[in-house]
Every structure is written in C-alpha cells, then in structure tokens.
Amino acid sequence: MKNESLRLLAASAEHIIERVSEVILGKDRQIRLALACILARGHLLIEDLPGVGKTTLSQALARALGLESQRIQFTSDLLPSDILGVSIFDRTTGAFRFQAGPIFHQLILADEINRATPKTQSALLEAMEEHQVTVDGKSMPLPDPFFVIATQNPEDQAGTFPLPESQLDRFLMRVQLGYPAPLAERELLLGIDRREMTAVLPAALDTDRLLALQRRVLEVHVAPPLLDYVQALVARTRTQLGTRHRSAQAQV
C-alpha cells in the first residue's frame, strides 16, 4: 500500500509539472523545486531580475493546483492593513465589522515583496508561521492549505528593502529562474502570450487531492546517509553565519 501511495504521489507530481511546463518553458528544475516546496507545506521565495517569469510561474502553479489565489503588489506605500484587513465601524449595528484583507486566500502571491517597507513585510510573519492573523486582539485562522509565493528583485536595484532574517526564515526554499535558453526564448517569442495561457490553464488537482498528496509526502523514506548530508549542510551554514556575525561585530 505504501509503495502504491508513493507511485500515485509521483504520478500526480509529474502531471502538475507537465501542466506548468506548458507555460514556463525550459525551467523543469525550478518547477520541480517549487512543487516540492508546496507539497512539503512550505513557502517559496523566487528571486531574480524583472521579466524572467517569476509572477507567471506563481500564477501557473496556483492554476494547476486548483487553489484560490490572490496577488498582492508590494509597494513602498503598502500598509499592513492592506494585507490583513481592517475593522470598519458599521453605523447600522453600532459595532465594528472586520473587513478581511487579501491574505485570506489559499495561495498568496506577494509580488516584489522587497519593495515594501520592513513594517509591511512583517504583516506576513504570523500568517506564514501560524497560519492565522491577529487583528485588534482577535486571532483568525487562514484557509487550509495556505501558501505564500513571494517574488523579489535583486537587492542592488533601486527602491528595495532587504528582507530581515525573521522573514527569510519563513521561506522553506529560495529559487532563481534565470534567462531562458535560446530555443525556449525563440518559442516564447513565436508562441501564445503566457498570460493568456495561464488564464486558461486547467487545474490538475483540487484542494482535497492536494491535501492528500501532502499527507503522502510524510510517507517518503529518507535514507540515513541523506540525513547525514543534510545535517552537515546545516552545520556548515551555522558555522559560516557565526563567523560573519563575529566579523561584523569586530568591525563595529
């Protein structure tokens, strides 16, 4: 039964990858990583230059997975209430009524997240970690499943704010798309507009099937040598981060 369950997981994943690859050409590896991140219940950060398909990939994934999605364009004047929602006074009832913000969707596309101020970025912290938001002292659950796919431009571009470590910690994975290969680029130039293709991309899953796939991920066997390798990588990053932190302190 376990092997059959994992075969179904692999077949479903390949079907989704095939659908998204119809829109995003020549980026099989990045699509697989993005899908793996979602199946592992993680949030995804896509970092690259403008115009390489970051937003299109996010929208194609939302369509293929059958998720209710909402795009939030992050700008320097965006406020936390524009994301979470706000309480509005209702004159007919004489009480405040909460007007839910766009965060209350299954998949949030935080487009160009590093163009918003750190204060606005922090509005996502509780949502991404706890799958709930707290407004006016009241906690409200978010839909299940809930994902954030954020795109960010390179930090050396004007008008960007570096993501703080607490925000970066909320993302399970960071990927880069890069420029398309020459053959893929020629097909993009000659083919149908990617936005039109995304708009009519049929769903390969529904919410119940996606949740079932996420449960099957827990059945995947991880060999001890692979765990040893992961632990070695983690230990190495801790050592490098500690060295850089001490070096920064010494300079101060």
Average pLDDT over residues 151-158: 76
Displacement of CA 114 from its chain's centroid (Å): 14
Residue in the structure block whose two tokens are 């020549």: 26
- For residues 61-67, average pLDDT: 88
Q: Is the pLDDT of residue 15 over 60?
A: yes
pTM for the full predicted model: 0.82
The answer to which of 75-79, 173-177, 178-182 has the lowest mean pLDDT is: 178-182
pLDDT score recorded for residue 241:
60
Average confidence score pLDDT of the chain: 84
- How do beta strands 44-47 and 69-73 pair? unpaired
Comparing 240 with 96, which gets the higher pLDDT? 96
Confidence of residue 162 (pLDDT cuts 50, 70, 90): confident
pLDDT > 90: percent of the chain: 22
Task: Give the CA distances from residue 246 to residues 12, 70, 73, 250, in Å, rounded to whole numbers and listed in that order.
Answer: 47, 41, 37, 6
CA distance 137 to 227: 41
Residue 163's pLDDT band, with cuts at 50, 70 and 90, is confident
Mean pLDDT for 222-233 is 93
pLDDT at site 213 = 86
The model's confidence at residue 231, banded by pLDDT at 50, 70 and 90, is very high
Lowest mean pLDDT among 63-77, 155-169, 225-239: 155-169
pLDDT band at 1 (very low <50, low <70, confident <90, very high): low
Residue 122's contacts (CB-CB under 8 Å, 6 or more residues apart) are 80, 164, 166, 167
Across the range 68-92, mean pLDDT stands at 88
Which pLDDT score, from 0 to 100, does residue 252 have? Answer: 47
pLDDT at 53: 82
- Report the C-alpha gap between 165 and 237 in whole angstroms: 14
- Mean pLDDT for 50-75 is 87
Q: What's the confidence (pLDDT) of residue 242?
A: 58
CA distance 58 to 67: 11
- Amino acid at residue number 99: Q
What does the alpha-carbon distance between residue 171 and residue 173 come to, in Å, rounded to a whole number? Answer: 6
Give the residue, 71 or 162, on which the prediction is more confident: 71
